[in-house]
Amino acid sequence: MRTPVVMGNWKLNGTKATVADLIKTFAGVANDAANVDVAICAPALYIGQVESLATGSKLKWGSEDCDVHTTGAFTGELSPSMLKNEFNCTYAIVGHSERRGYHAETNEVVAAKFKAAQDNGLVPVLCIGESEAEFDAGKTLDVCKAEIKAVIDLCGIDAFKNAIIAYEPIWAIGTGKTATPEIAQNTHKGIREFLKTFSAEVADGVRILYGGSCNAKTAPELFSQADIDGGLIGGASLKAPDFTAIIEAAKANA
């Protein structure tokens, strides 16, 4: 049985005041969600504040990206070792489609970030997913497989024993067009079958989250699908009642 994960991705949103409000609320909600892993990935500037407020609760936290380097002449970058050792992050999202798209991160760069995160004790959350054109062309699984294969080539299949995959169709992110439970389940199943060609044990154990306009209304049916192990939540993780309802949906399927 895989423990469900509900992870917020705040992107470039928030103020010190909203961070304080939301983290206090979510720490309490996480404490009441015994069988669900709850986490918030926050803008880098707020990670220290999240750490102060969430320490001692069941709520975990992480970054929205990390660099491949730990220290040195890399102006503006986010060190995986600092995230882990200085701010006690559990997770680092890598390969979000907004990073791939706006910052030209290739599959190889994302794989290197995955490796750097893991080598420094963070659990990488590998985001994968196709564009609308690729979906229309029936290329969803080809895209997802290539994004995963780059990581397997660099890190080996066993790296997924301590990592999370987030399937996020780009056409569903921030658009309100949630993938139907059938579409999402089919893709998640295909991803798991692909992993199975490398290792049945890894395929069976890895948590695969759905992301893309997942909200309080759509989460219950999505989370009830056999291969969907929770969600990576953007917009709805900035609203306390919505994120709380999504955690409740995961609890019902834990």
Contact 59, 38 (CB under 8 A): yes
CA distance 113 to 159: 13
CA distance 205 to 207: 6
Distances (CA, A) of 195 to 112, 145, 148, 152, 206: 19, 9, 9, 10, 9
**Least distance to ligand PGA, CB of residue 124, Å:** 15
Amino acid present at 11: K
Catalytic residue check, 96: yes
Per-residue x/- mask for ligand PGA, residues 56 to 95, rule CB under 6 A? ----------------------------------------
Amino acid present at 139: K
Of 80 and 212, which has the nearer Cβ to ligand PGA? 212
- Size, binding site for ligand PGA by CB under 6 A: 13
Task: Mark the segment that binds ligand PGA (CB under 6 A) among 144-152, 202-210, 233-241, 246-254.
Answer: 233-241
Interface with ligand PGA, residue 174, by CB under 6 A: yes
Contact 74, 34 (CB under 8 A): no
Catalytic residue check, 168: yes
Could you tell me which of 190, 193, 186, 192 has the C-alpha nearest to residue 222? 186
Contact 250, 29 (CB under 8 A): no
Residue from 22, 212, 222, 227 binding ligand PGA (CB under 6 A): 212
Residue from 152, 232, 247, 250 binding ligand PGA (CB under 6 A): 232
Interface with ligand PGA, residue 173, by CB under 6 A: yes
Question: Which contiguous run of DSSP H or E holds residue 145?
Answer: helix 140-155
Interface with ligand PGA, residue 168, by CB under 6 A: yes
Interface with ligand PGA, residue 9, by CB under 6 A: yes
- Tell me the residue number closest to ligand PGA, measured at CB: 234
